[in-house]
Chain A
Amino acid sequence: MIPELGHFALALALALALAQSVLPVMGAQWRDARLMGAAAPLALGSALAVIIAFGALIAAFVQNDTTVLNVVQNSHSAKPLLYKISGVWGNHEGSMLLWLLVLALCGAAVASFGRNLPSSLQARVLAVLGMIMTGFALFILMTSNPFTRVWPPAPDGQGLNPLLQDIGLALHPPLLYGGYVGTAVTFAFAVAALIEGRVDAAWGAWVRPWALSAWAFLTAGITLGSWWAYYELGWGGYWFWDPVENASLLPWLATTALLHSAIVVEKRGALKIWTVLLALLAFALSLLGTFMVRSGVLNSVHSFAADPARGVFILGMLAVYVGGAFALFAWRAPSMVPQGSFAPISREGALVLNNLLLCCIAAVVLVGTLYPMFLDLIAGRLISVGPPFFNSATLPLALPLVAAMALGPLMPWKRAVLWPVVQRLWWAALAMAAVFAVTWTILRVPFWPALGFGVGVWLIAGAKADIIERIQLFRVPLRTALARARGLPLSAWGAAIAHAGLGVSALGIAGMGLATETLVALAPGQSTHFAGYEWRLEGVRDAQGPNWTSRRAEVTVLRDGRAVVTMRPQRRYFPIGRTTTTEAAISTNFLRDLYAVLGEEREGQAVLRLHNNTLAPWIWLGGLIMALGAVVSLADRRVRVAAPQRRAKVAQAGMGQA
């Protein structure tokens, strides 16, 4: 009964979404207030229907309803409740329903909080969101229905992919989808603006919070995914330039560019056409990522159930949404008059440079991901592109980007002179040079990690300099400076925090350049010396989990004869599904990770792979700081957008160079 209700609710959502995509557009065209007014209730209604459908699927998983095919294929009664629930989106059908759910919730948010939008703009935005919802609801109902029944019922489920039975991966898809769907909202705003033929500062002010929240979700999702790969796959690496990873990195790069160019639209009324194009691109890349992952046109370390028939459907959606949006762009954008010329050396100039470099990096990653597929198609010749290509192609673009990241926020709008800005950053530059020189020449760190340390310090110092300049610390009395700090707009804090977060990540990545590892075979009681510690294998025992059995090694790590920590790396065997996973043991003190993986056992000896990963936690810490920066900035946006009258006060209090 419950699965049928879910199925019906999904069909209802499709019907409501279809109405939502047609009626408001007609209303906006004919200036009919009643038809435009239908947009918000329809968006709320379709969101409610999708919530019911999603709830029904969760209920089927929690009850382990083995008459539902999706449950049989992906769940098992012995699975802990948390993973039963995360199993809902751990498979293709459920994850698409989650996509639709997040999209519907965003539509509901635009419907409820968007009352101060011009009514025609709100109606058109909701209509575009309705069109996207229609596509995804059709996709789910036609090619990937999660409510399909089986009869007779299976005795029990076939278990979830054990790799996915993990807290990191339980949270990873919802975060990433939050980001993807956030780009759908900015896309809807861009399309609505193209239909209206008008892009103004208010539009920029509305797009930026959505771009920011999409960016925060994408940042958190990518960070979590990278952390998961680090501790679960047991290779000790954190980024593999895998096509699936690239598929999430591409919209992140486009959204990063978008949220910076939206600032220029909002503050200076320039870069409008470019910003609209970026909003279209960000969503196009999100859809492209979905397409590449789900259709099987590419081959990846990550395995997904791929199905060409689904690929055809997603390609069709790409053609309608992206093709349609770009056609609209080609038709309408020429009539938008470019405004606001500006000097190359200025805040907006720095933001344009940021955009250019980010887009170049995105283009490099896109080409590197697609090139092998297209070359095979066109020339029948085969090549493969790996990390060496991506590292050597993106690094020269990332370095000037990072240099400009610290300089840009210190520049005034309209016209700036470079020299005074550089002067204000002299101590950041000095710190960078000192760190680089000391690590390279005295500590004998290889060139690239040493440069990475310098860059990280430069970013953090630059973010600090930005705040210090704005509150005029050391130049005015401390009390005044603190008052200025309180009055500083949260978006300024957010930007500084996010930039510093990237610096923290850069330090972590540079530290990982110094990571060492070793492979040893030890009998119980034996020990080995590695990374300044003595590692003693105490023994290997059997352990039992809810739906797995494992071999668990106990390794005592000693320094100067005293035990520092006991590590328990495991190899888990999942009888249902007959798969084995490695559970790396990680001990961190935030300056380095000790990382141990248990390999095969033979002749009374266990093979252990030991890593010493310098500064590894900083990579993900930096990612979280970046996402936090976006959240802080968003808090400010809400104040500004929701209460325009307070906006003036805040702006006055926090003038500075803002």
Chain B
Amino acid sequence: MSKTSRRLLLAAPLGLAAAGGVGFWYMLDGLQDGSYDPRTVPSALLGRPVPEFSLPPVDEQPLAGLARADLLNLPRPVLVNFWASWCVPCIIEHPQLMTLQREGIPVFGVNYKDKAGDARAFLARRGNPYARLAADEPGRAAIEFGVYGVPETYLVDRQGIIRWRWPGPITTEVLEQDLRPLLRRFA
């Protein structure tokens, strides 16, 4: 090995560390102005069948719980919505979920790390958009789905394949621009 190439080789760690440092700097910068958000990493489950899970219903309310079997062989695509009564963005997306319910699109709710009483109170006050309502108090199904936070919504097609994932609230824009075309495509 020549002297120069040896020097270059030994300087490689510095170069790599510097490149990493610049990257981290931009990440931190983006964190502060909001352009970088680690929570928008999409699901590895896109295009894959729903994972194995089985959840009981939320206590003292009539809707059934949710399991993987309930998402296979459906007459139409459904939304699986992870939410919690303690989550403020869930309130933002709630009217859009009610709209979907009025249009007859089934939304299956997964109540994430929440207390049954709080969840019931939330729905009693704002209305219940859900066709099924499961309790994921330990957050285990959320792990299986790779949920990063609530609210988070998955579109499951008729064969039980996950077609779309939206971390964060479904605003009216998301509903019109992203969700409706997908609902038509997989209907």
Contact = CB atoms under 8 A, between A and B. Distances in A.
12 contacts: A295-B31, A311-B24, A311-B31, A312-B28, A315-B24, A318-B24, A373-B23, A376-B36, A383-B41, A599-B56, A602-B60, A607-B56
Contacts of B44: 383-386, 388
Given A600-B116, A602-B59, A382 B42 contact: yes
A384 B56 CA distance: 28
B135 A377 contact: no
Given A334-B6, A334-B7, A600 B32 contact: no
B138 A383 contact: no
Nearest to A599: B56
B62 to A, nearest CB: 11
A323 B21 contact: yes
Interface in A272-323: 273, 277, 280-281, 284, 291, 295-299, 301, 308, 311-312, 315, 318-319, 322-323
A374 interface: yes
A297 B41 contact: no
A552 to B, nearest CB: 16
A311 B28 CA distance: 7
Contact of B39 (A235, A299, A385, A599): A299
A301 B36 contact: no
B158 interface: no
B14 A330 contact: yes
A273 B6 CA distance: 12
A615 interface: no
B13 A277 contact: yes
A299 B42 CA distance: 12
B17 to A, nearest CB: 5
B38 A373 contact: yes
A597 B138 contact: yes
Interface in A227-242: 233-235, 240
Nearest to A607: B56
Nearest to A292: B24
Interface stretch (B101-109, B121-129, B140-148, B169-177): B140-148
Contact of A333 (B10, B20, B28, B32): B10
Nearest to B12: A330
A323 B14 contact: yes
Contacts of B14: 323, 326-327, 329-330
A74 interface: no
**For the complex, would chain B's binding face be called helix, strand, loop or mixed by DSSP majority?**
helix
Contact of A235 (B56, B60, B143): B143
Contacts of B41: 299, 372, 376, 382-384
A580 interface: yes
B151 to A, nearest CB: 16
Contacts of B13: 277, 280-281, 326, 329-330
A519 interface: yes
Contacts of A372: 41
B169 to A, nearest CB: 17
Contacts of B20: 370
B135 A600 contact: yes
A300 to B, nearest CB: 9
A601 to B, nearest CB: 7
A401 interface: no
B59 A315 contact: no
B25 interface: yes
Contacts of B160: none
A570 interface: no
Contacts of A296: 31, 38
A521 interface: yes
A582 interface: yes
B32 A315 contact: no
A600 B136 CA distance: 9
B21 A318 contact: yes
Contacts of A376: 36, 38, 40-41
B21 A377 contact: no
Given A284-B17, A382-B41, A297 B24 contact: yes
Nearest to B27: A297
Interface in A112-147: none
A308 B10 contact: no
Nearest to A277: B13
Contact of A308 (B28, B39, B137, B140): B28
A148 to B, nearest CB: 23
B186 interface: no
Contacts of A323: 14, 17-18, 21
A334 B5 CA distance: 10
B43 interface: yes
A323 to B, nearest CB: 6
B10 A329 contact: yes
A374 B23 CA distance: 7
Given A299-B148, A330-B7, A601 B17 contact: no
B57 A373 contact: no
Contacts of A311: 24, 28, 31
Contact of A384 (B42, B59, B113): B42
A446 to B, nearest CB: 17
B54 interface: yes
A309 to B, nearest CB: 8
